[in-house]
Amino acid sequence: MLRTLRQWLVLMVVTSAIVLGGCSPQGGAQSSAASPSPTQTASTPVTPASSPQTVGLPRLNGTATVALVVKGSTITAEIDGTNAPVTAGNFVDLVQRGVYNGLVFHRVVREPQPFVVQGGDPQSKNPNFPPEQLGTGSFIDPATSQPRYVPLEILPVGAKAPVYSKTFAEAGITAKPKLTHKRGALAMARSQPPDSASSQFYITLADINFLDGNYAVFGYVTQGMETVDKIQQGDRIESAKVVKGLENLKTDAKS
């Protein structure tokens, strides 16, 4: 009974940590949330052509390596465009644009047990922006002067293409996702609408399996989890760089 209550409390904390965090196309709040090991990859990239929501979005055809510097220490992550081409492409494109430089980790949840660290709200670059309002921002594409949103994108094990714009429960899928919420997973924060992810992301501090099939994992920390474990609310990303695989980023995607 005590264990069940504890799991329920964790679920409540988790849900609020992932569903209360930023602007969505529908005007809601943008959210969110593996041992530190390399990403699982398939032999050939999946294609996002089955979803009209992916048209014109950046795509990562393969993998890329990103280095985040926090408190003078480097966190290295392998970004998996093989299994999450649109989600990974969006993140790598934002890193390459310098969007994450100077942004704050505005949400850190370690109690009642380790959960996630979350950042990526562009509003946090302004040190005078009210901290209590962080988690409400999205990336504004300078080409359109509009927020850029990416669809929920999750590849089931054994499938040839990801499921777009639906959670596994909504799509009636019982298979596990190819990319799971292991400790060290990077995934996109979003609000309740499935296609509301933009720039906010989270890193899991433990295995958070009940998020599988609900949020889009796009990579894993491969080095520096000890730094992730020490991140405190208000810590800034000093720099974010693509150190390998930039040639796999396609920013002129037509489908």
pLDDT tens-place string over residues 177-190: 999 999 999 999 99
Residue 6 has pLDDT above 50, yes or no: no
Q: Which residue did the predictor score with more confidence, 86 or 45?
A: 86
Give the three-class secondary structure for 5: helix
- What pLDDT does 36 receive? 27
Instruction: Find tokens 């433990």 and name the residue.
Output: 206
pLDDT tens-place string over residues 148-164: 999 999 999 999 999 99
84 alpha-carbon distance from chain centroid: 11
- What pLDDT does 41 receive? 30
pLDDT tens-place string over residues 193-250: 999 999 999 999 999 999 999 999 999 999 999 999 999 999 999 999 999 999 999 9
| Pair of tokens at residue 145 | 């002067």
Residue 103 has pLDDT above 70, yes or no: yes
DSSP letters of 21-49?
SSB-TTS-B------S-PPP--SS----T
As a whole number of angstroms, the distance between CA 254 and CA 161 comes to: 17
Name all domains of the chain by residue range, CATH numbers in brackets. 2-247 (2.40.100.10)
- Mean pLDDT, the chain, rounded, equals 85
Instruction: Find tokens 């958070």 and name the residue.
Output: 208
As a whole number of angstroms, the distance between CA 167 and CA 60 comes to: 22
- What pLDDT does 37 receive? 25
Q: Is 187 left (phi over 0), alpha (psi -120 to 50) or beta?
A: beta
- What pLDDT does 71 receive? 95
The residue among 113, 79, 70 whose CA lies nearest residue 207 is 113
Instruction: Find tokens 């390399």 and name the residue.
Output: 38
Residue 53 has pLDDT above 90, yes or no: no
**Rg over CA atoms, the chain:** 17
Residue 25 has pLDDT above 70, yes or no: no
Amino acid (one-letter) located at 206: A
Amino acid (one-letter) located at 216: A
pLDDT tens-place string over residues 131-149: 999 999 999 999 999 999 9
- What pLDDT does 252 receive? 73
Mean pLDDT of 47-57: 66
Residue 176 has pLDDT above 80, yes or no: yes
pLDDT tens-place string over residues 31-47: 444 322 222 233 334 44
Q: How confident is the model at residue 1 (pLDDT cuts 50, 70, 90)?
A: very low
Percentage of the residues of the chain whose pLDDT score is greater than 70: 78
The residue among 249, 244, 252, 253 whose CA lies nearest residue 89 is 249
Q: Which residue did the predictor score with more confidence, 42 or 83?
A: 83
Amino acid (one-letter) located at 198: S
